[in-house]
Amino acid sequence: MTAVTARVPAKVNLQLSVGPPGADGYHDLVTVFHALALFDEVTVAPADTDSVVVSGEGARSVPLGPDNLAARAVAALVDAVGPGVRDAPGVAIEIRKRIPVAAGRAGGSADAAGALVACNELWGAGLSHQELGEVAAKVGSDVGFALLGGTAVGLGRGDRVTPALAAGAYHWVLAFAAEQLSTPAVYAACDRLRAGRAGQSDAGGEADHPGPPQLNTALMAALRSGEPAELGPLLSNDLQPAAVSLLPRLRQALAAGREHGALGAIVSGSGPTCAFLGRDGTHARDLAVSLAGAGVCRTVATVTGPAPGATVISAAAAGGPGTRPAGPEAGRPAGRP
Ligand code: C5P
């Protein structure tokens, strides 16, 4: 094999319930992930030394050294399988970004999943879905879901993922901010806001002690119905107040979406991207035009969900004529079934 390319989806959290921080600093989560048909592409090829090049959306703010999540994923795979798995001293990783770099590492989880799937194929390592998932969890909380795709429940750090029963296709508008937000900063702001409110409740204000997070059963029922009108009002994100407190302009973007008839309007994950649910494809396109015109964000995109997880889309054999093209038979999910 001379090069393998994988395609990996963006995601939105339909529910993101955040418990108190644990001893390791991570928060216990209950989340519902939903993969979106907006894809980065990751190509890996044998090389004399390790390298990462990034092109496309926000490429300049992606780290190119060993800190790059795709490079860390490759290192984690070598650790898991043993150095003998490599067919050359290094790996050249090429990332073509269409998922905007919204936070320091956002979209990086997708690229890590792409690198795992692509190297698994390049080296013929033969790791199963589950084995790749175990490596993914060591790289970052969202990497396991980027492998799986579709709609899934995430527990723990968000790294324990189980596919969810979900019907239908949904039409979303994503509004990308000009600014970036760091994920740890947003979690820290969430803790501060909660501590502040708990202090007020001690002085007679409203209580806000987060209990253990729970899966929203009404949201799961809405997903089974496949009805956007049922799903929209149930979208929730505990990190939203924190993201809005750090970037108050997000409030205007969310309000503009609701004004233009979005069935649901939320900050996606730790932000700053906002996601709006349309009634159908036409409504989503109208919503995107209105949001772009309202001047509340840097750029907008219409996307559908759910989308498949990390998938090999082409593989070029050594001495072969070129790439095996993408297509239903070539595009297959990560690992052995
Ligand atoms: O796991 P990952 O490196 O993707 O997480 C990035 C950061 O997000 C962590 O360093 C932590 O600050 C925060 N985080 C958290 N609780 C989680 C997931 C992430 O506090 N469940």
pLDDT digits (tens, 9 = 90+) for 11-27: 999 999 999 999 999 99
Q: Residue 268 Cα, ligand 1 centroid: separation in angstroms?
A: 15
Confidence category of residue 62, pLDDT binned at 50, 70, 90:
confident
Distances 270 to 113, 239, 246, 253 between C-alpha atoms, Å: 19, 6, 11, 15
Q: What's the rounded mean pLDDT across residues 68-90?
A: 93
Q: What's the rounded mean pLDDT across residues 310-337?
A: 61
For residue 207, pLDDT over 50 is answered with no
Atom of ligand 1 nearest to the CA of 156: 21
The whole-number pLDDT of residue 278 equals: 98
Confidence category of residue 72, pLDDT binned at 50, 70, 90:
very high
Q: What's the rounded mean pLDDT across residues 98-122?
A: 85
Tell me the whole-structure pTM to 2 decimals: 0.91
The whole-number pLDDT of residue 319 equals: 60
For residue 209, pLDDT over 70 is answered with no
For residue 194, pLDDT over 60 is answered with yes
List the domain boundaries for the chain.
3-165+307-331, 170-305
Q: Are 76 and 82 in contact (CB under 8 A)?
A: no
| Ligand 1 and 221: CB distance under 6 A | no
Q: Are 150 and 143 in contact (CB under 8 A)?
A: no
Q: Are 103 and 141 in contact (CB under 8 A)?
A: no
Give the whole-number percent of the chain exceeding pLDDT 70. 90
Q: How high is the mean pLDDT of the chain? A: 90
Q: How far apart are the first and last CA of the chain?
A: 22
Atom of ligand 1 nearest to the CA of 109: 4
Q: Residue 66 Cα, ligand 1 centroid: separation in angstroms?
A: 19
The whole-number pLDDT of residue 86 equals: 87
For residue 291, pLDDT over 90 is answered with yes
* Residues with catalytic roles: 11, 142
Q: Which CATH superfamily includes the segment(s) 170-305?
A: GHMP kinase, C-terminal domain (3.30.70.890)
Q: Which residues contact 337 (CB under 8 A, 6 or more apart)?
A: 128, 129
| Ligand 1 and 183: CB distance under 6 A | yes
Class in CATH terms, 3-165+307-331: alpha beta
Give the whole-number percent of the chain exceeding pLDDT 90. 78
Confidence category of residue 336, pLDDT binned at 50, 70, 90:
low
Each residue of 205-219: b (16+ CB within 10 Å) or e?
Answer: eeeeebeebeebeeb
Q: What's the rounded mean pLDDT across residues 304-322?
A: 84
| Weakest mean pLDDT among 202-206, 306-310, 317-321 | 202-206
Structure tokens at 318: 């050594």
